[in-house]
Amino acid sequence: MIILTLNCGSSSVKYRVFDWQQKAILATGIVERVGMPGSFIEHYSKGKEKVNRRHDCPNHRVAIALITKMLLDKEQGALPDLNAIKAVGHRVVHGAEIFSKSIIIDDKALNIFKDVADLSPLHNPANIMGIEAAREVLPAVPHCAIMDTAWHQTMPKHAFIYALPYEWYEQYHVRRYGFHGTSLLYVAKRAAVLLDKKPAACNLITLHIGNGVSANAVKNGISVDTSMGLTPLEGLVMGTRSGDIDPAICFYIMRKTGIAQEEMETILNKKSGVLGITRKYIDRRDVVKAAEQGDDLAKLAIEIEVYRLRKYIGAYYAALGRVDALIFTAGVGEMSPLYRAKTVAGLEDLGVVMDFEKNKLSQTRNVETDITGKNSKVKVFVIPTDEEIVMTEDTYALLQGIYDVHTEFEYSFQKKSYVNLSRAEALKSELIKNPKLKDIIALSP
């Protein structure tokens, strides 16, 4: 069975084609800058060269059409025809309180996604457009929704209810939902494997640090708190999002400047965070480079971000009482030794000790690494995330009628014997260039 997964972001579409029988990735890629000038597709098919092609993509429908065209391309494609695809898995950012696990999409579910779209105005509309476009192109196959919010449906009420008029929750569904759930599920299950424990025996703090950033407290294998809230705006400092602020700031600036509500929402989501502080950088690699060259605002942005990360670690440590592992994941979490080192610095009294030499070695998306320091009571792992494998396995299990909530369902990557074939192949080349990486591999493939 060949499964296509689609992850439609506000301005991008990531995709993967997976052969279930062969457990092999046939193709992967991303369409960037959807709805903006300069849009392009980056595509890779197994055994072929990676290609990058510019193509105007004014919306997600055009992006989906471009992806299917590339998958069938005579030179760079991976499929003989679209009939080879037997199912499609879609990432859906917001499922409100209605969905606690992945589902097969029908018209009723799609209408619910539309009804709750105002809870995630930057993401759900793009998700919906991607679903509708894919259903038009592939009308005869099942389409499944994998909800980012589902992982956090185990949070207790005292963790997700805001100290606001209670009728806002009753009438308008105002509560903490949390996001990055597909990623957080994957790394939590993998952490249990690395710890050689059952998931239900694990207490974890995960830091998903990319353009979007969130922290997750996991107690006895389930999510009990997370930093993002009603929307992905709350919590940690992000690439363009402010994270936690005094809400009165918005009213103050609106009175002072005359900024309208819509513009303020845009500023908080797209012009704040690291970009707001530095005035020009979003990519943390650019921030680090600028800081090394003496840019004071870049230095400040780094310190603000890691300080907020440390505060959340402390808060979640207190909430959990015992922590088995601190996990770094996503682009920055996986690839930036500087951000990891600064985040953990000073946490020794909490029993969190990092080996800074091992930390410097860990810059890979192909293998999990153990960067725990001597005498640390808490394991420190870097676990490359894999949202697509969760989407693929949920889709397959739904079609086979064997799927259930994650506490009652076992993924293939929960086994010690699990190997991501494509990452294992890439790791071979990486070890030739960086043989010392072998010393910090958390679990030998």
Cβ atoms 407, 221 nearer than 8 A? yes
Task: Give the strands of the sheet with 40-45, arranged side by side.
Answer: 51-54, 40-45, 24-32, 12-19, 2-8, 85-92, 143-147, 103-104
Residue 112, Cα to own-chain centre: how many angstroms?
A: 23
Reduce the DSSP state of residue 13 to 3 states and report it: strand
Q: For residue 177, how many other CB atoms are within 10 A of its CB?
A: 30
Residues taking part in catalysis: 148
CA distances 99 to 8, 102, 116, 153, Å, are: 19, 7, 12, 8
Question: From CA 60, how far away is CA 143, in angstroms rounded?
Answer: 17
The most distant pair of C-alpha atoms in the chain lies apart, rounded to whole Å, by: 61
Nearest to 222 by CA among 206, 200, 207, 205: 200
Kindly give the pairing relationship between strand 325-329 and strand 379-382: parallel
Vertex 284, ends 281 and 287: CA angle to 5°?
55
